[in-house]
Amino acid sequence: MTDPEAIKADIEQARAELAQTADALAAKLDVKAQAERKAQEARSRAAEAYESAKASAPVPVQKAVAKVEQVGRPVAAKAAEDKGRTALIVLGVLAAALITRRLTRRADVDVETARPSRHSTSGLGSAKLRQWPAKRTLSPPPPRRLTRR
């Protein structure tokens, strides 16, 4: 038969293989690590594509890109330092843009025709709006004035 040393060596080898299998399963189940790895791969692919496009661009474009990079580095560094503040600023700008767009598109009455505009909130359904003859104008309606209440 076999000696005890050979049996111990087999047991140690089986333990090592089992540990490797457990580590591989844990790595497959770690969604956060997989997402980080894929994000890093995407960043590296994007950086390679950027460098390749920059290298193949005409000389004036390369100079312009270099100037933009030079100007943008301090801004990017500052944004990277304070990610929370940067996120709030970006969200604020987006919210202001959406609110501004919403306010400028919502005219209750078309001044030229004295009829509800297509963005009206007056409660008329689309069936009532379809009854009115369509009048096309070349100029947009004047912007609404915002008043404080």
Tens digit of each residue's pLDDT (9 = 90 or more) over 20-52: 999 999 888 888 988 999 999 999 999 999 888
Residue 115 φ then ψ, to 5°: -125, 160
- The CA–CA distances, whole Å, from 125 to 9, 112, 121, 122 equal 82, 21, 10, 9
Task: Answer yes or no: are the C-beta atoms of 113 and 91 closer than 8 Å.
Answer: no
Instruction: Give me 141's structure tokens.
Output: 């309606």
> For position 20, what pLDDT does the model report?
94
Residue 57 belongs to what domain range?
Answer: 1-77
| pTM (global) more than 0.95 | no
Any domain includes 89: no
Least confident of 15-29, 82-96, 100-114: 100-114
Tally the residues of the chain. 149
What is the domain count for the chain?
A: 1
Instruction: Give me 134's structure tokens.
Output: 């369509």
Q: Return mean pLDDT, the chain.
A: 78
Any domain includes 56: yes
Any domain includes 53: yes
Q: Where are the alpha helices (DSSP H) in the chain?
A: 4-29, 31-56, 59-81, 83-105, 126-131
Q: Higher model confidence: residue 53 or residue 137?
A: 53
Q: pLDDT tens digits, residue range 78-91?
A: 877 888 888 888 88
